[in-house]
Amino acid sequence: MHPLRALREGGPPSLEQVAALLAENVVFNRPLLVRPIEGRDAVARTIVQSARNRDGVGTMFWSRSSTSTPRSSAGREQSRGTSSKALSCW
């Protein structure tokens, strides 16, 4: 397994852990960015922030109170009282 992948799958990495795996002159290119991110510190910060943003993706909480109007028959079952449950987004 690639060391960066192993680090990421082990939990949220620290800036120091990511920087230790990168070359001093690393360049990070992404299709959504206008300019590449250059340098060990800048790329490490980008990877760490991305990991923090992605933790918990796919789970959000949905709740409905008895005062809301149900939109479907499934919603009518939920409309009695207040309930919440985790939904999977991905």
Condensed to tens digits (0 to 9), the pLDDT of residues 44-72 reads 999 998 887 776 555 555 555 555 555 55
- Are 78 and 42 members of one domain? no
Which helix or strand (DSSP H or E) is residue 41 part of?
helix 40-54
Residue 90 domain-assigned (yes or no): no
For residues 45 and 77, membership in a common domain is answered with: no
Note whether 41 and 65 are same-domain residues: no
Domain presence at residue 36: yes
Asked whether residue 38 carries a pLDDT value surpassing 90, the answer given is yes
18 and 43 belong to one structural domain: yes
pLDDT of residue 88: 52
Beta carbons within 10 angstroms of residue 78's beta carbon:
19
Total of domains in the chain? 2
Q: Are residues 10 and 33 in the same domain?
A: yes
Of the two residues 3 and 83, the one the predictor is more confident about is: 3
Q: What are phi and psi of 59, to 5 degrees?
A: -130, 125
